[in-house]
Structure 1
Amino acid sequence: MSLTVVSLGGPVAPEGEDMLRAAGIASLATAPYPSREEVIELLSFRQPDALIVRLVERIDETVLRASPRLRLVHKHGAGTNDIDVAAATALGIPVAAAVGANAHSVAEHAFALMFALIKDLRAQDAFVRGGGWAKKTYQGHELRGRILGLVGMGLIGRNLARMASAVGMQVEAYDPYAPDAAFGADLDDMLARADVISLHCPLTDQTRNLINARTLGLMKPTALLINTARGEVIDEPALCQALQVGTIAGAGLDTFSPEPPAPDNPLWQLGNVVLSPHIGGVTEEARREVSLITCGNVISLLKGETIEPRFLVRG
């Protein structure tokens, strides 16, 4: 019997496609963010054995039931908040993720957002393009000597901690699940002390709107907020208000709620924000690594073989 894989939200890297083809597995991909109706219609028609989840709104029970042959759902990345893992588990469908594959890329992106803000690169780029040249008015700063507060100390947080330490930042971290007691800082205290807060936690019931009006109010008026985690970790209206009135100095955002964000999102009007379209983990190097891990796991599981336990997501 032939096997079929559908990649929702775009194809995997060419090296991944080659792996699937060599294993005798047919693959096809949708455009980014297909509608729920389009997904259900496609899965009902093609009856795939596995789904690779890239850019899609939500994989719920109805979507999972659209293909009776479905044996696996694999996230092309690490976060699985767009997959109803509990529903998949109840249906006997394992869920896997390419944990750690893009950790270095995301850490670099968070670091880049910090530099863009602290060096005022957005405004300086526009200034020069507009014919300006007045170095005496520049008010950029250094990251050296500043306190970086990390919310989450998984692979991304640890990578960023090493990068930040190399430029002379003092690193503190809050992660109640990390085994190392050194990462057990009190969140409120760290928010009040840090010059930069960078979010690297998964989206859970406990982390949804973790950064809100109250927690933003604890931060320094000179503080910067970086989010390369999930948009829902931040209460966006509260953040907009904090940026408008100067509760904090600026924000670097790679993720939003919802995605893609609305064209009239008030963040677009703010000059103290640097934005990117959820691409922190999709450099060519990271995309290739994610695709190789994802396709390798898909091939193994569809052939009845085991994969490393760290890639399996518990319901």
Structure 2
Amino acid sequence: MSFTVVSLGGPVAPEGEDMLRAAGITYVSTAPYPAKADVIRLLAETEADAIVVRLVERIDTDILKASPKLKIVHKHGAGTNDIDVPAAKALGIPVCAAVGANAHSVAEHALALMFALIKDIRRQDAFVRGGNWAAKTYQGHELRGRLLGLVGMGLIGRSLARMASAVGMKVEAYDPFAPDEAFGPDCTRAADLDTLLASADVISLHCPLTEQTRNLINARTLGLMKPTTLLINTARGEVIDEPALAEALKAGTIAGAGLDTFSPEPPAADNPLWQLDNLVVSPHIGGVTEEARREVSLITCGNVIAHLKGDTLPTRFFVRG
């Protein structure tokens, strides 16, 4: 029996494509952020058996119903806020994610944003490119000895805790759902979120997007932070109230922010954040290094192939509705 897999929002890594084709599967991919009408038309025409979700606006009921043969939806990554998981569950279509495949990459990116901020890399780069050279005016700092507050202690948070500890940072994390074994010599458990936000020198967000975490960082919680605090977000853009963050950065409520994610994506050209020089940004690429993309693709394609052939997947890959 032949199968068709459609990757929405960009292709999988070449190694993943090779896996699919070696399994006799027809493979099709689209450009990033395809129009909904085009997605529905493509899925209907190909009668897709599986969807791989990369860069899309939203996988909703209409898209899930487009192919009568659809058997699985697999996120090319870990976050599934762009998939209507309850709708898929209602239709009997499992949703999976490549859990943990890019954790190290995202953790490294969060650390890189911290260094970029505390070493003032953005402004120093512009300073030298502008023909200047006056090292005595530099006011950079060290991460060593500072308290890193992690919000979320999944695989990314745990990886970052080890990295930050090696740099010499003290690490505390708030995650009411993490087991005790997630903490240890590199990180202690914070009793409550507000206390952590008020005491941390650097706050790094690694929580999933849920109704409880949407706008978790808002005017109130930003107001708890020290004026020297640095805020890092490699989770989902919706975890931060962006207008409130822009006001906090402008007013000096916090010292700076490093953002890899936004709401919406791509962000608007007139986003008020662009007017601020105490901000470092990147285009949601923390988890898409070549190494991470390859690993995510191999896990995603391997899971899709196994499911289509009737094999049982490990439960950790399934997303609850």
TM-score (norm 2): 0.97
Match of 1:269 in 2: 275
Match of 2:313 in 1: 307
What stretches of structure 2 of length at least 5 have no aligned partner? none
> Which of 198, 202, 207 is the aligned partner of 1:192?
198
- Which aligned pairs between 1:171-210 and structure 2 lie closer than 5 A? 171-180=171-180, 182-210=188-216
8 Å CA contact 1:242, 1:248 repeated in 2: yes
Contact 1:230 1:256 in 2 (8 A): yes
Q: Which structure 1 residue ranges, 5 or more long, are not aligned?
A: none
* Residues in 2 aligned to 1:185 and 1:198: alpha-carbon distance in whole angstroms: 17
1:9 match: 9
Deviation at 1:184, TM superposition (A): 4.5
Matched with 2:87 is: 87
Please say which of residues 16-25 and 42-51 is displaced more in the overlay. Answer: 42-51
Task: Say whether the 8 Å CA contact 2:117–2:257 is kept in structure 1.
Answer: yes
SS of 2:303's equivalent?
Answer: helix
1:78-227 matched pairs, under 5 angstroms: 78-180=78-180, 182-227=188-233
Match of 1:77 in 2: 77
Aligned pair count? 315
Structure 2 residue matching 1:159: 3-state secondary structure = helix
- Decide whether the 8 Å contact of 2:223 with 2:253 is kept in 1: yes
1:293 to 286, 299, 316: 299
Match for 1:242 among 243, 248, 253?
248
Q: Determine if contact 1:152/1:175 at 8 Å carries over to the other structure.
A: yes
Quote the Cα distance in structure 1 between the aligned partners of 2:252 and 2:35. 38
Task: Work out the CA distance in 2 between the residues paired with 1:310 and 1:176.
Answer: 19
Q: Distance in 2 between matches of 1:13 and 1:98?
A: 14
- The residue aligned with 2:50 is 50
Q: CA shift at 1:246, angstroms?
A: 0.4
Per-residue CA shift, 1:220-248, capped at 9, x if unaligned?
A: 00100000000000000000000000000
* Paired letter, 1:232: E
Give the residue type in structure 1 aligned to 2:147. I
- Taking the aligned partners of 1:99 and 1:206, their CA distance within structure 2 comes to 21
- 1:254 lines up with 2:260 in the alignment: yes
One-letter identity of the residue aligned with 1:239 = L
% identity of equivalent residues: 81
CA contact (8 A) 1:176 1:183 kept: no
RMSD: 0.8
Larger displacement relative to structure 2 (156-165 or 173-182): 173-182
- Counterpart of 2:257 in 1: which secondary structure? strand
Q: State the 4+ residue runs in structure 1 displaced beyond 2 angstroms.
A: 181-185
Supply the distance in 2 between the matched residues of 1:99 and 1:187 (Cα, whole angstroms). Answer: 25
CA distance in 1, matches of 2:124, 2:255: 17
Output the TM-score relative to the length of structure 1: 0.99
Is 1:62–2:62 an aligned residue pair? yes
How far apart are residue 183 of structure 1 and its match? 2.5
Residues 165-220 of structure 1, C-alpha deviations (whole Å, 9 max, x = no match): 01110101000101118524210000000000000000001000000000000000
Cα distance in 1, alignment partners of residues 201 and 19 from structure 2: 45
